[in-house]
Amino acid sequence: MNERLDPDDRRLASALTALDPSADQVSRMAGAVAAQVARRARALSAEWLELLRQRPLVNGPLALAGACVMLATTPFGTLLWGLLSAGLG
Amino acid sequence: MTSIDSLLVHLFAALAPGATAPEDDAEVLRLVGRARQGDRSAGEALYRLHVRRVFRAVRPLCRSEQETEEVVQESFVRALAGLGGYRPRPGSRFVSWLMTIAANVARRRSRWFRRAVYDCPAPEVSHELQPDELLDSQRRRAALLEALATLAPRDREVVSMRYGSDLSCAEVAEATGLSEVNVRKICERQRRKLLELLEAKLGAAETAGRSA
């Protein structure tokens, strides 16, 4: 802190050190942060593939349903449908 | 989990939880620069330098130790992933940017759960302390949280940031959106009240002496 602290400021700042995390908490959080940062860094497609690889029976239908919803509710689906219709016609 | 994940988890978990080096702003900025370029060890060093400050300031804003851990984790993940958006400014340190993120995460959670009850700390067995010290530390922790819980949420946030995270009044003002004058007033008003509450719970000697 760059400001001049009076004795009460110092006492309170010092008292708040009682809230410091334990060593176990620090390492536990470190592990979780590292895992989440790594997960964010991975491509979304890799996440999907990993999910499918881990539990294909559960996640396969879910992925399919997700894809159907995306196709039905976004302009991308309409465009794809239009292209397919034009191609077939 | 990929090998990169395992490596990161291992590296982070291996961080020495003991003493942290004194913060050097130039060093922090160097670490931020390296972390932006993908240097994992720089990210770990930033975590190691700031985790205690963030935890200390976030704890009074959360209901439990578990929730505090979650908020701290989410804050660091957001900060490390968003380092590209960090712009150092004069008078505003990296820790105040980090605390702004942490306070936003804590606030969002608090709105989400719509509660106002703050529990006493769940005692966690620490391997660093002797049984007497552990009991004493838990007592001080509980007394402090009870005293902080008597403050209005906004005042608690200001006090936690100012004294827990060691931010200046200007930095707290920036992180909370309040004016600096307002932050000063809140600190002046609440610090006396908190110290009196702590003295009533723990005794004057203990509040002043042991915590120092």
pLDDT at residue B70 in the model:
94
Q: Where are the alpha helices (H) located in A1-89, listed in sequence order? A: 7-15, 23-41, 44-54, 56-73, 75-88
In a domain, A7, yes or no: no
In a domain, A74, yes or no: yes
Tell me the mean pLDDT in the region A32-36: 91
In a domain, B11, yes or no: no
Angle between helices A23-41 and B65-81 (to 10 degrees): 40
DSSP assignment of A60-79 equals HHHHHHHHHHHHHHSHHHHH
Task: Please indicate whether, in this complex, the C-beta atoms of A11 and B195 are within 8 angstroms of each other.
Answer: yes
| Same-domain pairing of B132 and B96 | no
In a domain, A16, yes or no: no
| Same-domain pairing of B81 and B131 | no
- How far A22 CA lies from chain B's nearest CA (Å)? 6
Q: Which residues contact A20 (CB under 8 A, 6 or more apart)?
A: B52, B55, B56
> Which residues in chain A are closer than 8 Å to B55, comparing Cβ atoms?
19-21, 25, 29
pLDDT at residue B125 in the model:
47
> Which residues in chain A are closer than 8 Å to B145, comparing Cβ atoms?
19
Last residue within a domain, chosen from B72, B87, B115: B115
Among the listed residues B133, B159, B135, the one whose alpha carbon sits nearest the alpha carbon of residue B145:
B159
pLDDT at residue A59 in the model:
82
- How far A80 CA lies from chain B's nearest CA (Å)? 34
Q: Which residue has the higher pLDDT, B41 or A80?
A: B41
> Which residues in chain B are closer than 8 Å to A3, comparing Cβ atoms?
168-169
Tell me the mean pLDDT in the region B202-211: 58
pLDDT at residue B99 in the model:
94
Task: Please indicate whether, in this complex, the C-beta atoms of A21 and B8 are within 8 angstroms of each other.
Answer: no
B91-117 residue pLDDT tens: 778 999 999 999 999 988 876 555 444
> Which residues in chain A are closer than 8 Å to B12, comparing Cβ atoms?
27, 30-31, 33-34
Q: Which residue has the higher pLDDT, B190 or B212?
A: B190
| Same-domain pairing of A60 and A82 | yes
Asked whether the predicted pLDDT for residue B9 surpasses 90, the reply is: no
Q: How many domains does chain A have?
A: 2
- Alpha-carbon distances, residue B167 vs A30, A61, B3, B91, B100 (angstroms): 23, 50, 38, 11, 11
In a domain, B9, yes or no: no
Tell me the mean pLDDT in the region A27-36: 92
- Alpha-carbon distances, residue B174 vs B92, B97, B101, B179, B195 (angstroms): 9, 9, 12, 8, 26
pLDDT at residue B123 in the model:
45
pLDDT at residue B173 in the model:
93
CA–CA dist B198, B206 (Å, integer): 9
Which residue segment(s) compose the domain that B42 sits in?
22-115
| Same-domain pairing of B38 and B111 | yes
Asked whether the predicted pLDDT for residue B78 surpasses 90, the reply is: yes
CA–CA dist B161, B96 (Å, integer): 9
In a domain, A17, yes or no: no
Determine the residue type at B24: D
CA–CA dist B81, B83 (Å, integer): 6
Band of residue B131 on the pLDDT scale cut at 50, 70, 90: low
Which residue segment(s) compose the domain that A71 sits in?
56-89
pLDDT at residue B18 in the model:
38
pLDDT at residue B160 in the model:
93
> Which residues in chain B are closer than 8 Å to A21, comparing Cβ atoms?
51-52, 55, 68-69, 72
| Same-domain pairing of A82 and A72 | yes
| Same-domain pairing of B108 and B132 | no
Residue to test with chain B: of A4, A16, A22, A36, most B Cβ within 10 A: A16
CA–CA dist A48, A67 (Å, integer): 12
In a domain, B3, yes or no: no
* The most confident of A15-19, A46-50, B138-142, by mean pLDDT: A15-19
Task: State the number of CA atoms in the 13 A half-sphere of B20 facing the CB.
Answer: 19
Strand partners of residue B92: B89
Q: How many domains does chain B have?
A: 2
> Between residues 94 and 113 of chain B, which touch chain A (CB distance below 8 Å)?
none
Task: Please indicate whether, in this complex, the C-beta atoms of B187 and A1 are within 8 angstroms of each other.
Answer: no
Q: Quickly tell me which residue has 């702004």 as its tokens.
A: B100
pLDDT at residue A10 in the model:
87
pLDDT at residue B207 in the model:
59
Q: Which residue has the higher pLDDT, B134 or B142?
A: B142
Tell me the mean pLDDT in the region A31-55: 78
Domain containing B170 — which CATH number? 1.10.10.10
pLDDT at residue A38 in the model:
82
Q: Quickly tell me which residue has 């968003």 as its tokens.
A: B82
| Same-domain pairing of B26 and B47 | yes
Q: Which residues contact B197 (CB under 8 A, 6 or more apart)?
A: B143, B146, B147, B150
Task: Please indicate whether, in this complex, the C-beta atoms of A12 and B195 are within 8 angstroms of each other.
Answer: yes
Domain containing B68 — which CATH number? 1.10.1740.10
Q: Which long-range contacts (CB under 8 A, 24 or more apart) does B202-211 make?
A: B202/B139, B202/B140, B202/B143, B206/B140, B207/A11, B207/A15, B208/A11, B210/B136, B210/B140, B211/A11, B211/A14, B211/A15, B211/A17, B211/A18, B211/B140
| Same-domain pairing of B29 and B100 | yes
Asked whether the predicted pLDDT for residue A3 surpasses 60, the reply is: yes
In a domain, B7, yes or no: no
B29-74 residue pLDDT tens: 999 999 988 888 999 999 999 999 999 999 999 988 999 999 999 9
| Same-domain pairing of B52 and B32 | yes
CA–CA dist B13, A52 (Å, integer): 28
| Residue B60 in contact with partner chain A when CB distance is under 8 A | yes
Q: Quickly tell me which residue has 């930033």 as its tokens.
A: B46
What b/e readout covers B63-80, taking b as 16+ CB neighbours within 10 angstroms?
eebebbbbbbbbbbbbbb
The chain B residue lying nearest A23, using CA atoms, is: B17
B165-200 residue pLDDT tens: 989 999 999 889 999 999 999 999 999 899 999 888
Phi, psi dihedrals of residue B18, rounded to the nearest 5°? -75, -135
In a domain, B122, yes or no: no
Strand partners of residue B89: B92
In a domain, B34, yes or no: yes
| Same-domain pairing of B79 and B105 | yes
Band of residue B122 on the pLDDT scale cut at 50, 70, 90: very low
Asked whether the predicted pLDDT for residue B141 surpasses 80, the reply is: yes
In a domain, B59, yes or no: yes
Nearest to A40 among B18, B77, B126 (CB): B77
Mean pLDDT of chain A: 82
Among the listed residues B191, B98, B96, the one whose alpha carbon sits nearest the alpha carbon of residue B144:
B191
